[in-house]
Each structure stands twice: as structure tokens, then as C-alpha cells.
Chain A
Amino acid sequence: MSASTKRLFSQTGKYALLTVVLALFAGPLAWMLSTMLKTKAETYKAPPSLLPESLNFESFNRLFEVQPLMWRWIGNSFIISILVVIGVILSSSIVAYGFSRFSNKYKNRLFPIVLMTMMIPPSVMMIPSYVLFTKLHWVDTWLPLIVPAWLGGAYYIFLFRQFFMSIPHELDEATYLDGGNRWTVFSRVILPLSKPIVMTTVIFAFVNTWLDFLGPFLYIKNNEMFTLSVGLQLLIGQTSQDFPALAAGAFISIVPIGLLFLFAQRYIVEGVMLTGSKG
């Protein structure tokens, strides 16, 4: 065998391997799409058919009929995610400026605490937080989901701080010479230079909030206040045998993130790299 044939062979082998594993990973998603487009009767056939007989969007009608609150839940998820994003950007960037541009003994003692809180297991805080929110009368409102984001999340502070550290201090000095103060440096120099990290954080925070299940599941009892995830969980209980409608519900909850990923993949990947997690 010549060297080039051998190469071609190993290239083909690589593609074959990639494609087989890809089928295993994309398979479940494809099965969701296929189920979503079937009629209810088709899903009860044994053995099941791989593809729907015809493209049929009845499942969406049934979904919105069984659960008229679907639209509301979608809206709720968007409103909460957007409010979280705004809060995260404002508060975390301000706090991160504090932790990156000042030098005093307090900073050096407090920043390790910020890092430490990133390591606290969230489920350990589940019950204590619930007790706190009960005492604040925040249970069954969106406040437990939104207010913490307005008070500086550790992950996002860390992301911003890493970026701010890379901005040269000469620009700060020039602004001080022009009579600027700390706030002018932050708002006129640092923030305008931070568009990439703002973009990363916007997308990362949106995705994380959209994906969050446990928070809204614990704190919100009133159906009308549900997020889409918690609503879908209710739906599993309501129509556990209507496979196409369930698949349609799952599909709807994936679409916003899928679109974001399509257009902003770079930022999501960057966020994972910098913090090592997606939530």
C-alpha cells in the first residue's frame, strides 16, 4: 500500500468513526424531531417507524390546547432571562472593576472569598435559601430568580475581572490627567473596551437562566408564574402518553438556545473555557 492510499484509508476510518458516534449523539435529537411530526397513532406503532408518514404539525396544536399557558411560560422565561442578563452585566462589571483596579488590603482578602463562593455546592444552599426567601415573602414571586443576579454573581465577576486585568493601565492614567475619576475611568474607558466580554456574559447569563430548572421549580408554585422548563415538567404529568406533543414542547424549549448557539457559538465556548461550566 502506498503512503497516500494508507492516508486515504485512515481519513475514511476517521470519518466513519466520527459519523457513527455523531449518530449516537444527534440520534436522540433527531428522534425528538421525528416524533414531533408524527400523529399520535403513529407513535403507538410497534416496531416504531423511523420517520413520520407525512409532515404533520398537529402536535403543536394539541400542545397549546392541553396547556393554554404555554405562551405565557415562554414569555415568562424570556422576561426573567432578560432581567437577569441586565442585572448581571451592570452589577458584575462594577464589582469586577473594584476587584481589578484598586489596590488595598481589603481587596486581597475579599477576592479569594469571591472565588470560594464559586465552589459552594448549590444544593447545599437549596434549603437555606428557601428558608430565607420564605422569610422575605419572596416565594411565589420572580424575586429569588432575579435579585441575586443584580447583586453580582461570582462567576460573572470572575469573567469580567479576568478581562479588565488585560486592559493596560496607561488609559486609566490618561483619564485621571484629564480630570476624570474612578467612575469616568470605568464608564468611559473600561466598559467601552469590554464589548467582547459583555457579549460573552450576555449570552452565557441568558443561556444559564434559560436552562435553570431547580430555582424556578423550588420557588414558584403558581402555574401562571412558571418558566417554560417548570411548565414542561407539569406537562409531562398531564399528557405523558401524547409523545408528539411532549416532543413539540421539548423542541420549543430548545429553539431559543439553538438559535443563540448558531449565531454566537464563539461566546458560549469562551464562557465554558473561562469558567469550566455552563451553570
Chain B
Amino acid sequence: MKNRLRRYDTSVFFLFIAPWIIGFTLFFLIPFGTSVFYAFTDARLPGAVDYNFIGFSNFQEMLNNPTFGKSLLNTLYFVGVGVPVVTAGMLLLGLLLNMNVKGIALYRTFYYLPTLVPIVATVIIWRLVFNSEFGILNAGLSVFGIGKTDWLGSEGLIKPVIILLQVWISGSGVLIFLAALKNVPKHLYEAVRIDGASRLRAFFTITLPMISPSILFVVIIQTMYNFQMFTEALLLTKGGPNYAAYTFVYNIYKSAFTDLQFSMAMAQSIFLFAIISLVTFVLMKLSNRFVYYEGEK
């Protein structure tokens, strides 16, 4: 009797989670499974029926793709330079907005606003600000005697400009740091102040270790995001000038929708998935040495 009741309850459980099971199967398992399958074929179009198995050819050919190396290097720049810069920016803003002054809530609201701007609107705004002829930035800089800079048209500047854009819309990470900073117990600061430690020292010996779990979290999220950098680069300068902002996901997009080589695009997607998984795994492993969890021996 009890067993039957339990079995009945289990079926009710599956009824409740049925939407997720269907969604997970249809929108994750099936597409992911078929894409692993297609990556080893020469299918060119998404609905292709005639295709041959070609083993690892797509993966070999991917390396010969003329834009592959460039796109990988650019993506590594966004990860290697972009992630530390954006994370540091978020942390500095978090510290700034954690200051104990009247009206700070209003400041916080304003800092968060850019994060809620749709990305296309963000790009429109940045094109207006960074326009070399009529933009406000060059006009402002000229007051300090700095000459006209072609921000969006220079191969050397486009990646830093995109990273700056990421800092502008980094409100979510700032919120996470703010919450972490609020949770650092005040008595710890009082203890080192009695010892005569400076603010800077208190920051490195107390604040940083105490918020290290949040730093790890933000770094992982941002690393995953920057490995997938695409929309910003596409909308701002179409990956240019001269492929300077052309990223790995851009290359996937181009393989699929411009070159009409879907199987190649899938091979690249799998490659990207492997890299992201590997890097995330390494970050987690390394973090054991740096991240301090309170309440853990």
C-alpha cells in the first residue's frame, strides 16, 4: 500500500516537472546531440538531408580558416585583458558606492541605469559619444589639448573601447560586490585599526579575502561572457576595423550564416564549449588556493 502510494507520488512529481523535461529535451538535448553529430559531417545547410561523414575534417579545416587565428587571439584579448579590467572596474565602483554618505542610494540608481539599456541603444549612444568628428568625447578631450582620436576606426583602440563599454554596463557585477562588501563584519576593521593598519592595508588583509568568493563568481561569469563576445563587436563596428574586433563567436556566426557551412560552425561551437569548460574548471581548481570561505576550516 505504502509502496503504491509512493509510486503514485513519484508520477505526480514527473507531472509537475514535465514542462522542464520537455523543454530540456527539445531545446538542449536534441540540438546539442545533433550538433555533435553534424560536426562530423559536411552538411552545409541547417535542413540538409544529403551529407557525408567526414570524420575530424571540420576540426582540421577550422584551423586553416583564414580568420580563425585572428578571431581566437581577439577573444583571448577580451578574456585576458577584458576580464581583469572589467572585474577591477566593478570592484572599484562597488567600493565607491559602499561609501557611507547621505543620498548614496540615489547614486547607486544612476550607476545601474546603463546596465538596463538595450544593447542596440548602448551602441547607438557609444557611436554618438565616440564619433571622431561630432562626438562629445573628442570635444571634451580637446579642452585638455588632446587631439582628435578616431576611437572606432582604429585597430588598436577598438578592443579597449569595447572593454570600456563593458565597464559602463557592469551594474550587475557592481551589485554583487556591493552585497558582499556589506557582509564584511565591521568588527574586523576595528580590530586592525587598533593595530594601526592603514586603509589600504585593511583592504588587502580584510576586504579582499572576505569578498573573494564573490570575486571568483564574478570572474567566472565574466570569463564565460567574454569568451562569447559577439553582439557588442557586431553592432559597434561589424568586427572591424580590419577584423580588430572580430571574435570567435563572430567567426561561428560567419561560418554558418555567410559561408553557409553549418557543420563547420558546429565544430567551432564544440571547440568553444570545450575551451570554456576547461577554463572554468581550471579557475575553480585554482580558486581553492585563493578563495576564503568563512565558516570553513
Interface of A with B (CB < 8 Å)?
11, 14-15, 17-18, 21-22, 25-29, 31-32, 35, 43-48, 50, 91, 94-95, 97-99, 102, 104, 106-107, 110, 113-114, 117, 119-132, 134-135, 148, 150-153, 157, 182, 186, 207, 210-211, 213-214, 228-230, 232-233, 236, 243, 246-247, 249-251, 253-254, 257-258, 261, 265, 268-269, 272-273, 276-278
Q: Does B253 contact A (CB under 8 A)?
A: yes
Residue of A nearest to B253 (CB): A126
A43 CB contacts on chain B under 8 angstroms: 134
Contact with A along B90-128 (1 / 0, CB 8 A): 000100100101001001011111111111110111111
| Bound-state Cα–Cα, A22 to B253, Å | 37
Q: Are B13 and A26 in contact (CB under 8 A)?
A: no
CB distance from A258 to the nearest CB of B (A): 7
Q: Are A117 and B19 in contact (CB under 8 A)?
A: no
Q: Does B157 contact A (CB under 8 A)?
A: no
| Bound-state Cα–Cα, A28 to B110, Å | 12
With known contacts A150-B19, A273-B179, A124–B120 Cβ distance under 8 A: no
Which listed segment binds A: B57-65, B77-85, B261-269, B288-296? B261-269
Q: Are A269 and B31 in contact (CB under 8 A)?
A: no
Closest 9 CB pairs of A and B: A151-B23, A98-B16, A128-B31, A250-B121, A128-B35, A152-B20, A134-B46, A98-B17, A123-B228
| Bound-state Cα–Cα, A123 to B175, Å | 25
B117 CB contact (under 8 Å) in A106, A135, A157, A254: A254
Interface of B with A (CB < 8 Å)?
6, 9-10, 12-14, 16-17, 19-20, 22-24, 26-28, 30-32, 34-35, 38, 46-47, 93, 96, 99, 101, 104, 107, 109-121, 123-129, 131, 133-136, 139, 142, 168, 172, 175-176, 179, 217, 221, 224, 227-228, 230-231, 235, 249, 252-253, 256, 262, 265-266, 269-270, 272-273, 276, 280
A50 CB contacts on chain B under 8 angstroms: 136
| Bound-state Cα–Cα, A121 to B12, Å | 32
A277 CB contact (under 8 Å) in B128, B139, B221: B221
B235 CB contacts on chain A under 8 angstroms: 213, 233, 236
B93 CB contacts on chain A under 8 angstroms: 21
With known contacts A47-B142, A152-B19, A135–B96 Cβ distance under 8 A: no
Q: Are A213 and B120 in contact (CB under 8 A)?
A: yes
Q: Are A276 and B118 in contact (CB under 8 A)?
A: no
Q: Are B124 and A232 in contact (CB under 8 A)?
A: yes
Most chain B CB within 10 A, of A14, A98, A107, A247, is at A98
Q: Are A128 and B269 in contact (CB under 8 A)?
A: yes
With known contacts A35-B128, A123-B228, A278-B115, A104–B16 Cβ distance under 8 A: no
